[in-house]
Chains A and B, each alone.
Chain A
Amino acid sequence: MEDQLGALTTIFTEVYYWITVVFMFLIHVGFCMYEVGASRRKNMMHTLMKNTMVIPLVTITFFFFGWYIYFSWHNGIPGIIGADPAPYGLTDINWAAPWSPLMGSTLSSEGDGYWSHINGVFWAAFLLFSWTAASIVSGAVIERIRSGAFWILAVVIGSFTWIIDAAWGWHPDGWMIRELGYHDAYASGVIHAIAGGFALGVLVVLGPRIGKFAADGTPRNIVPHNPWLVTVGLFLIYTGFWGFYVACNIPILDVGAMAGMEGSFFSTTNIYLTPTTTSAITFNFLMSLSGGLLMGYLVSKGDAFWTYSSGLGGVIAASAGNDLYHPIQAMFVAAVAVPIFYWMHSWVERTFKIDDAVGAVAVHGYAGVIGLLISGFMLWGYPASMYAESAPGVIATISPWGQAAGAFIMFFVLGFAPAWIVSKILSALGMLRIPERIEVAGLDLSEFHGRYLDEADVSAAEEEEARRLGLI
Chain B
Amino acid sequence: MDNQLGALTTIFTEVYYWITVVFMFLIHVGFCMYEVGASRRKNMLHTLMKNTMVIPLVTVTFYLFGWHIYFAWPNGPGFVGGFIDTPHASPFSPLMAATLNSGGDGYWSHINGVFWAAFLLFSWTAASIVSGAVIERIRSGAFWFLAVVIGSFTWIVDAAWGWHPDGWMVQVLGYHDAYASGVIHAVAGGFALGILCVLGPRIGKFGADGTPRNIVPPNPWLVTVGLFLIYTGFWGFYAACNVPIIDMGEAAGMEGSFWTTTNVYLTPTTTSAITFNFLMSLSGGLMMGYLVSRGDAFWTYSSGLGGIIAASAGNDLYHPIQAMFVAAIAVPVFYGMHSWVEHTFKIDDAVGAVAVHGYAGFFGLVISGVMLWGYPASLFYDATISPWGQFAGAMIMFWGLGFIPGFIVSKLLNAMGLLRIPERVEIAGLDLSEYHDRYLGESEVNAAEEDEARARGLI
Contact = CB atoms under 8 A, between A and B. Distances in A.
Q: Do chains A and B touch in the complex (CB under 8 A)?
A: yes
Interface of A: 1-5, 7-8, 11-12, 14-15, 18-19, 21-22, 25-26, 28-29, 32-33, 36, 44-45, 48-49, 52-53, 55-57, 59-60, 63, 98, 103-107, 113, 116-124, 127, 147, 447, 450-451, 454-455, 457-459, 461-462, 464-466, 469, 471-472
Contact of A105 (B5, B221, B318): B318
Interface string B263-300: 00000111111111101101111110010000111001
Contacts of B301: 52
B231 A120 contact: no
Contacts of B347: none
Contact of A49 (B249, B279, B297): B297
A33 B225 CA distance: 8
Contacts of B224: 32, 48, 52
Contact of B235 (A25, A113, A120): A25
A471 B283 contact: no
A55 B300 contact: no
Contact of B283 (A48, A55, A105): A55
Interface in B45-81: none
Contacts of A465: 203-204, 427
B207 A461 contact: yes
11 contacts: A2-B256, A8-B8, A8-B12, A32-B224, A36-B221, A48-B224, A63-B276, A104-B320, A117-B261, A124-B279, A455-B216
A31 B287 CA distance: 19
Contacts of B16: 15
Given A4-B247, A22-B235, A59-B282, A120 B259 contact: no
A107 B295 contact: no
Contact of B282 (A55, A450, A455, A472): A55
B280 to A, nearest CB: 7
Given A44-B221, A55-B283, A56-B282, A120 B270 contact: yes
A455 B42 CA distance: 13
B214 interface: yes
A60 B319 contact: no
B134 interface: no
Nearest to B269: A105
Nearest to B6: A4
B9 interface: yes
A452 B424 CA distance: 24
B276 A124 contact: yes
B427 A56 contact: no
Contact of B286 (A33, A53, A457): A53
B245 interface: yes
A465 to B, nearest CB: 5
A459 B277 CA distance: 43
A52 B286 contact: yes
B12 A121 contact: no
B214 A117 contact: no
A377 B427 CA distance: 69
B273 A120 contact: yes
A104 B282 CA distance: 16
B236 interface: yes
Contacts of B456: none
A118 B221 contact: no
B423 interface: yes
B272 A14 contact: yes
Given A98-B321, A121-B275, 20 more contacts: A7-B259, A11-B12, A11-B259, A11-B261, A15-B244, A15-B271, A22-B23, A29-B229, A29-B232, A55-B282, A55-B286, A56-B284, A104-B320, A105-B317, A117-B270, A121-B271, A457-B213, A461-B207, A461-B213, A462-B203
B123 to A, nearest CB: 21
Contacts of B333: none
Contacts of B236: 22
Contacts of A462: 203-204, 427
Give the interface residue-count category, chain B: 35 or more
Contact of B271 (A117, A454, A458): A117
Contacts of B319: 103-105
A103 B427 contact: no
A121 B272 contact: yes
B215 interface: yes
B99 to A, nearest CB: 24
B260 interface: yes
A5 B5 CA distance: 7
Most buried by B among A1, A107, A120: A120
Contact of B225 (A32, A106, A447): A32
B349 interface: no
A103 B273 CA distance: 8
A158 to B, nearest CB: 12
A2 B213 contact: no
Contacts of A14: 261, 270-272
A45 B220 contact: yes
Interface in B119-154: none
A120 B278 CA distance: 10
B429 to A, nearest CB: 10
A120 B275 contact: yes
Nearest to B226: A29
A56 B286 contact: yes
B111 to A, nearest CB: 16
B435 interface: no
Nearest to A45: B297
A52 B221 CA distance: 12
Closest 7 CB pairs of A and B: A120-B272, A7-B259, A105-B273, A56-B283, A462-B204, A461-B204, A104-B319
Nearest to A12: B12
Nearest to A107: B268
A60 B216 contact: no
A107 B261 CA distance: 10
B398 interface: no
B228 interface: yes
B30 to A, nearest CB: 9
Contacts of A119: 272
B324 interface: yes
B19 interface: yes
Contact of A7 (B245, B285, B286): B245
A29 B225 contact: yes
Contacts of B260: 1, 7, 107, 113
A279 B271 CA distance: 26
B410 to A, nearest CB: 22
B316 interface: yes
A19 B12 CA distance: 14
Given A120-B272, A451-B216, A45 B284 contact: no
B256 A107 contact: no
B377 interface: no
Interface in B177-229: 203-205, 207, 213-216, 218, 220-221, 224-225, 228-229
B9 A471 contact: no
B325 to A, nearest CB: 11
A48 B236 CA distance: 25
A3 B319 CA distance: 27
Contacts of B279: 59, 124, 127
A119 B277 CA distance: 12
B446 interface: no
A264 B225 CA distance: 47
B146 to A, nearest CB: 25
B19 A454 contact: no
